[in-house]
Copies of this chain bind each other. A is one copy, B any other.
Amino acid sequence: MRDTFHAELANVSLADAMHGLSDPLRLRIVELLANQGETECSDIYNTLDISKSNASHHFRVLRECGILLRLHRGQKQSARLRADEFEERFPGLLRAVLDNINSA
């Protein structure tokens, strides 16, 4: 069920994608999801020690650039990367970013 806005990746430009990945906190969210797979949103903002509202802002930006999917699981919400779709739209980009997060 997708009742929140998710981008059509075909409509996401490279500049949009780069913008989505241009914030230190968003990079930490992406790293966490790349490592853990689907994760409850509350776990994400607790793990990163950020407020729910701050996290929500960044989740939205990541959804709008097509990299994050928000999912409703009963009373809870979770998020996961759209890694395969993103790879199809921007080959090699997410891998290069993740490699540089890990080594930075």
Q: Which positions in A face B, CB cutoff 8 Å?
A: 13-15, 18-19, 21-24, 27, 90-93, 95-97, 99-101, 103-104
Contact = CB atoms under 8 A, between A and B. Distances in A.
B97 A18 contact: yes
B19 A22 contact: yes
Q: How many copies does the complex hold?
A: 2
User: Nearest 6 pairs between A and B by C-beta?
Assistant: A18-B22, A96-B96, A19-B22, A92-B96, A15-B24, A22-B22
Residue with the highest number of chain B CB atoms closer than 10 Å, among A15, A24, A104: A15
A26 B2 CA distance: 34
A22 to B, nearest CB: 4
6 contacts: A18-B27, A18-B97, A22-B22, A91-B103, A92-B99, A92-B100
A100 B91 contact: yes
B21 A18 contact: yes
Contacts of A101: 14
Contacts of A104: 13-14
